[in-house]
Amino acid sequence: MNPRVLVLDDEPRMAEIVGMVLRRDGFDVETFTNGNEALARHDADPFDLVLTDLRMPAPDGLEVLKRVRAASSDTPVILFTAHATIANAIEALREGAFDYVQKPFDNEALRACVRRALEINRLSRENRYLRAELGQRHALADIVATSDAMNDVLDLVRRAARSPATVLITGESGTGKELIARAVHFHSDRVSGPFVAVNCKAFAEGLLESELFGHERGAFTGADRTREGLFEAASGGTLFLDEIGEISEAFQAKLLRVLQEREVRRVGDDRARPVDVRVVVATNRDLQTEVAEGRFREDLFFRLAVIPIRIPPLRERREDILPLARHFLLQFQRRSERRFNALGAEAEALLAEHDWPGNVRELENAIERAVVLAVGDALLPSDLLLEQRSGDSDPPADTTLQAHLDAATRAAIHEALSATGGAKSDAAARLAIDRTTLYRLIKKYDLGEG
């Protein structure tokens, strides 16, 4: 859809000339010679851009500017002005005008001004949208937390975010350490800078040094070009180092130097480069134990743990289990376009009692699995496929996850066929699969002729 432009000038010929110039560039232009009529049209259906003469019978261009800005603050306004009214144009800029064009104007200068106004406005809207999306994912207010333990964590995050100090996030796998790291970044004064995350465990020691510090061309075999490291890439923002407990003692010394000196030295380079980055690290190890047993440098531990944040496992904050489950259910419903009334009462009881060794990640996976397997309007315990707790009767030793999935799929198809009186088209629709897939599964699980 082409941008819509309103042109206002009390001289009809001037309004038509401007309109003609902009229409040639593909803009959808409407011209007016009366300010009140132009404003009424804009109020009814706001334009993407307004161009108005400054000196006109009331309302003049300055009044038009104020009323457009009041009605739709996103709409950029460009003014036409003659040499005698430059002071008024400057006043208009103070009132929020995007720019002004002097009469007589050059057509190309006018086009350039219009294109620049629309592009800057587009980027501004896009930036607000992306920040809103970021806020929905990482703002503290949007993190699901009912328990006192988790609310204490979020309060600590809120206070830590205001500081440039290094943050150490600890907790079992699946507790959401990266989510908390991103929340620290989002609520800091570095939010406009990059958030760069790296899993230290994913790289061999030599590669990790190159990844974080960068390297010069020819520094090692395969280094065919100079490359900046992630410390430099995160300049002005936050660098998140996950699995920090996995780095070697030799690399610990190099990382400590970077944190102390606030500068990096690329592999193969003898020149140090200053870095402006806030460091947040995370681990599922007990670093104090690692220090005591000589596997982690004590000086590095204290440098990293300026602000320690421990995320409690899900079994220690059971008040969060059902709110999180409902949150994930809503997310997966939106993605799959399936609708459920709620979690069934029996499913909720099972969720609340489960120990969740995989923490929030395991809970999220269980809800996603249940959404895929569920047949009725509510999620049932059988849809969750949770391993039984140790106090319950143990499943057969040779029962694999695939066996669980096959049993659940067979039961779901059998229930759908029973509910639809054997009508395969209706059963396929109920299961949200196509008929060909249903026929194949009926044959696979020996549920009758397909």
Q: pLDDT tens across 331-367, in order?
A: 887 777 666 667 888 899 999 999 999 999 999 999 9
Q: State how far the Cα of 334 lies from the Cα of 346, in Å rounded to an integer.
A: 23
Which residue type occupies 380? L
Q: State how far the Cα of 254 lies from the Cα of 209, in Å rounded to an integer.
A: 9
Look at residue 242 and give its three-state secondary structure: strand
* Residue among 350, 351, 325, 330 at smallest CA distance from 341: 330
Rg of the chain, C-alpha, whole Å = 31
341-350 burial, b for 16+ CB within 10 Å, e for fewer?
eebbeebbeb
* Residue among 157, 307, 168, 172 at smallest CA distance from 244: 168
Look at residue 273 and give its three-state secondary structure: strand
* Residue 118 near residue 78, CB atoms below 8 Å: no
- List of domains in the chain: 4-131 (3.40.50.2300), 140-312 (3.40.50.300), 317-444 (1.10.8.60)
* Residue among 197, 293, 297 at smallest CA distance from 247: 297
Quote the DSSP letter at residue 200. G
Distances (CA, A) of 392 to 25, 335, 337: 73, 34, 35
* Residue among 318, 383, 300, 379 at smallest CA distance from 343: 379
* Residue among 32, 35, 39 at smallest CA distance from 16: 32
Distances (CA, A) of 253 to 268, 281, 296, 363: 18, 16, 10, 38
* Residue 411 near residue 439, CB atoms below 8 Å: no
Give the torsion sign (CA, 322, 328, 332, 333): positive
Which residue type occupies 282? A
Which residue type occupies 4? R
Contacts 24+ apart (CB under 8 A), 105-110: 105/80, 107/21, 110/18, 110/21, 110/22
pTM, two decimal places: 0.59
Helix and strand numbers (H, E) in the chain are: 19, 16
* Residue among 439, 377, 448, 442 at smallest CA distance from 409: 442
* Residue among 443, 386, 435 at smallest CA distance from 410: 443
Quote the DSSP letter at residue 312. P
Sheet hosting strand 195-199, strand order edge to edge: 195-199, 238-242, 278-283, 167-170, 307-310
Q: What count of other Cβ atoms lies within 10 Å of the Cβ of residue 225?
A: 8
DSSP letters, 157-204, are: HHHHHTS-S-EEEE--TTS-HHHHHHHHHHTSTTTTS-EEEEEGGGS-
pLDDT at residue number 72: 74
Give the torsion sign (CA, 138, 141, 147, 148): positive
Quote the tokens at residue 192: 């406009």
* Residue among 203, 197, 180, 202 at smallest CA distance from 238: 197
Quote the tokens at residue 304: 């990293």
Residue ranges in the chain whose pLDDT is less than 50? 136, 388-395, 397, 450
Distances (CA, A) of 145 to 172, 314, 361: 17, 11, 15
pLDDT at residue number 93: 78
* Residue among 4, 23, 97 at smallest CA distance from 53: 97
Q: State how far the Cα of 101 lies from the Cα of 80, in Å rounded to an integer.
A: 5
Q: What count of other Cβ atoms lies within 10 Å of the Cβ of residue 239?
A: 25
pLDDT at residue number 129: 52
Q: For the packed helices 321-336 and 359-373, what is the interaxial angle rounded to 10 degrees?
A: 40
pLDDT at residue number 223: 80
